[in-house]
Structure 1
Amino acid sequence: MFQVGDKVFYPMHGAGVIKAIEERKVQGKSLEYCVITIPINNMDIMIPMQTVANSRMRLVEDRDTTKNILFDYHNEESNCTLPWKERYKQNMEKLKTGEMLDCTEVVRDLLSRQKEKALNSSEKQMLNEAHKILVSELSIIKGISENQAAELLII
């Protein structure tokens, strides 16, 4: 399914590159792991190959899809009028999907909300994390620095 060198997105962690597929012994059992380097967090994560299919890990988006998503990000308006607890729950579900479109919607909607009034601490943290993982994918897709990727998200 995935190979060394593939550029992938792992939900709630961000985008990275598969560095290796290696075998490790854990509690006396030999298991194959996918080792992914996530540059934005400066870390490697290991995912058991047997759980990769259910992990929502995916290849990063292609450039055309990314262009369309960014167009919508900059040109569509937020229409979320839910109370903050429901909004938080809905946004968390979007982030867990691991889909770039969902993540951009969360960032756009929270930034828009922040312009109207201050976000509570939970939503601030969610915005920071969503922004960070979105930047990680944009920087890998476009081959640019994290700062350059962050500039693409300025509204």
Structure 2
Amino acid sequence: MTKTKKPEFRPNEFVVYPAHGVGKIISIEEQEIAGIHLELFVISFEKDKMTLRVPTHKATEIGMRQLSTPDVVNKALDTLKGKARVKRAMWSRRAQEYEQKINSGDLLSIAEVVRDLHRTDDQREQSYSERQLYEAALERLTREVAAVSGADEAQAQKTVDSVLTSRAA
């Protein structure tokens, strides 16, 4: 009998939940739901004023993961320096792909969205939906950069901005 390896998530640890980004595990609690005893991670997303309860046995399956390593963060910042790759597909198709990348929780995919949707001042205006996707990706990236580096979000924002503006120069 092989026991499935339970992820090593602990209280007071930051984790990345694919659909919501960086959150902090505040506790692990047991609840009875519909007659079934469940062990749940209680995750707080302070900025969104949201608390999520995730069954511990489902955490890895749904893509919850630990914060990226500083190495991965550096790769993500390098991704931002690259040239935007915009497919010639219709916007609705591209928007769907960007949405999937953002919700994948994968930092490098999120960085690609930021890179591809970033506009400098002399470029054409972003549409509302482009700006929404860009800001969502940028926020996810910034929060994880902040959590990994131990800096606050404002500092992480400066780091990301400086990489994006150095690319434009």
Gaps of 5+ in 1: none
Gaps of 5+ in 2: 1-6, 165-169
| 1:1-150 correspondence runs (5 A) | 1=7, 2-73=9-80, 75-82=81-88, 83-112=90-119, 116-150=123-157
Going from structure 1 to structure 2, the CA distance change for 1:85 and 1:115 (only over 3 Å counts) comes to: farther
The letter for the 1-side match of 2:16 is F
Find 1:153's aligned residue among 150, 153, 160.
Answer: 160
Render the CA deviation track for 1:33-91: whole Å, top value 9, x for unaligned: 11112233243221122321221111111112212221231x21102133311210111
Asked if 1 retains the 8 angstrom alpha-carbon contact of 2:67 and 2:148, the reply is yes
Structure scoring higher RCO (CA < 8 A, sep ≥ 6) equals 1
Identity of aligned residues (%): 28
* Equivalent residue pairs, number: 154
Asked if 1 retains the 8 angstrom alpha-carbon contact of 2:113 and 2:137, the reply is yes
Alpha-carbon deviation of 1:93? Answer: 1.7
TM-score, normalized by length of structure 1?
A: 0.88
Q: In structure 2, the residue corresponding to 1:16 is in which secondary structure?
A: strand
Alpha-carbon deviation of 1:113? Answer: 8.1
**Shift >6 Å, 4+ stretches:** none
Aligned to 2:4: none
Q: In structure 1, the residue corresponding to 2:38 is in which secondary structure?
A: strand
TM-score, normalized by length of structure 2?
A: 0.81
Q: In structure 2, the residue corresponding to 1:116 is in which secondary structure?
A: coil
Alpha-carbon deviation of 1:29? Answer: 2.9
CA RMSD of aligned residues (A): 2.0
Aligned to 2:3: none
Asked if 1 retains the 8 angstrom alpha-carbon contact of 2:29 and 2:42, the reply is yes
